[in-house]
Structures are given as structure tokens and as C-alpha cells.
Amino acid sequence: MPKPRRQTATSNTYRFFISAEAVRGDAVLVEDAALAHQLATVLRLGVGDTVVLLDNLGWQYTVTLTQLTRSQVGGIIQDKQLAAGEPRSQITLFLALMRHEKFEWVLQKGTELGICAFVPLITERSMADASDMTERKTDRWNKIIREAAEQSRRGKLPQLGAALPFAQGCAQAAQHGTALLLWEGAGAQPLRQALARAKQHGGASTAYSVAFLTGPEGGFADHELETARSHGIIPVTLGPRTLRAETAPLAATAAMLYEMGDLE
């Protein structure tokens, strides 16, 4: 009696991003030794098994494997549809460099929640600087983002930008529809109030663009707050509790997605 096929098409384990160029009509041919190894050796899949491939443009393809070598993955497309995991709200997180394990945790969980881009920030109290962003470290961070996006059913990979000095990051953040800086000191308005104003200004059909700037373990310095304000960035508070550097951006992201109707 033949061994029953695994239900791979509905599992988060068997979802993989590929280049859009790999899709050729009703077939897919991927030149990717790492993916071939993952499918054949780690997951022990073979010809006839089904996986879901994502083109990073928002489309997902249910593909039956027809070829699996050391460096190639080929298959026939059985179904094509828009991936449902992308929020309407476009959140860019300007995240201060902090201890590696905490920074990576935010990348992973932020991707799961729906952040569309991460920009590392170099602040006065950061425990790392631009020299810490080696090619090897950046590759690792992109891998964390990719795996989290696949697991959480995202349709597009969040972008990872180059590390920016704080003032330059403020200038870039100010180009978004709304730019907010998480601030635990005096003079900040409640996050809910700032998001309600952004929602009222944008209207019901708007795809909101929000930038969050979040600090390192020691928080932002007072002069950094003034720099942010000079760029039109609004300081906001999450309430009376002091959250850790890795907790605050995720709490703000979840609150924003809920307020804008992207979490139910």
C-alpha cells in the first residue's frame, strides 16, 4: 500500500520565498541549492510532494514537485492566489541597535506581526554601531526575517535597510505619513491618540504609512528627542509602565495594527 502524502500545502513548514523570475508560465524552476537541500534532506520531500512558493510580489503558488536535484527545484503550478498575510498598514520600524539577541528577537516577532521594513538606528546609547553590521550579520538577520515571514504566512519579505545615524534616520522617517518616536519621559502624547488622528486624517480606505522610532536599552537621549521633533516626529507614550527596548516596538506595532483594523 503506497505511503500517504503529507498535507504540505496547508502547513506553514512548507512555505518558501523564491525569485519572481523562477515562475515560468505554469511551471517553476528554482536555482537554489539551499532550498533544494531544505526540501530533499531536511524535510525529506520528493517528486510528487506539494509545497507553497511565494514570489515576494504578493502571490503564492501551490506547486507539485517534478524535479529535485542538489541545486534545482522544479514543479508544476496547481494554484495561484494572492497571499493573505500582508496588512494594509505599512509600518517601518527604525530600531536602535541593541544586544544581538534582543535585536534579532524584534526582527523575528516584528516580521510575524506585519512590519514591512526595518531600519537599524545608531543612537547615543546604542550598544553597537555601523561596524557591527558585517555582511555575515546582515545575512543572518535577513535569514531570520525570511524564516519568520514564511512561518507567519507573509506574502512579501520585509526589507532590512542599512544602519543610519539617528539624525539621518529621523529625516527618512519623516517622509512617511506619520512618524512617531516612543518616549518614556514627559511631554509625549498617548499612542492611541496619535493613531486616532492619523486614522482620521487618512480616511477609511487609506493604506496607512507609519514609522516608529524606538530606542536602545538606555532609551533616547534628550537631544535626540529634540532632533526628532525638529523633523516633525511626534513623541508618544505607551503608558505608565516602562517596557524593555525589545518589548516596546512590538507593543506599539500590535496597537497600531489593531487601531487600523489589521488585527481582529
Q: Which residues pair with 99 in a beta bridge?
A: none
Phi, psi of 16 (to 5 degrees): -145, 140
pLDDT of residue 244: 95
**What is the distance between the alpha carbons of residues 168 and 173, in angstroms, rounded to a whole number?**
9
What's the rounded Cα separation, in Å, for the pair 131 and 48?
47
User: pTM (2 decimals)?
Assistant: 0.90
Q: Per-residue pLDDT tens, the chain, 264 aa: give them.
A: 455 566 676 777 899 999 999 999 999 999 999 999 999 999 999 999 999 999 999 999 999 999 999 999 999 999 999 998 899 889 999 999 999 999 999 999 999 999 999 999 999 998 777 677 788 889 999 999 999 999 999 999 999 999 999 999 999 999 988 999 999 888 899 999 988 877 776 554 456 789 999 999 999 999 999 999 999 999 999 999 889 999 999 999 999 999 888 887
**C-alpha cell belonging to residue 214:** 524606538
Q: Which domains does the chain have, with CATH numbers?
A: 12-82 (2.40.240.20), 90-259 (3.40.1280.10)
- Tell me, what's the pLDDT at 85? 86
Torsion of the alpha carbons at 122, 123, 124 and 125, rounded to the nearest 10: -100
Residues 6+ apart with CB under 8 A from 76: 26, 27, 28, 63, 64, 66
What is the Cα–Cα distance from 255 to 185, expressed in whole angstroms? 20
- Letter for the amino acid at 258? Y
**Angle formed at CA 184 by CA 181 and CA 187, multiple of 5 degrees:** 75
pLDDT of residue 127: 77
pLDDT of residue 2: 52
SS3 114: coil
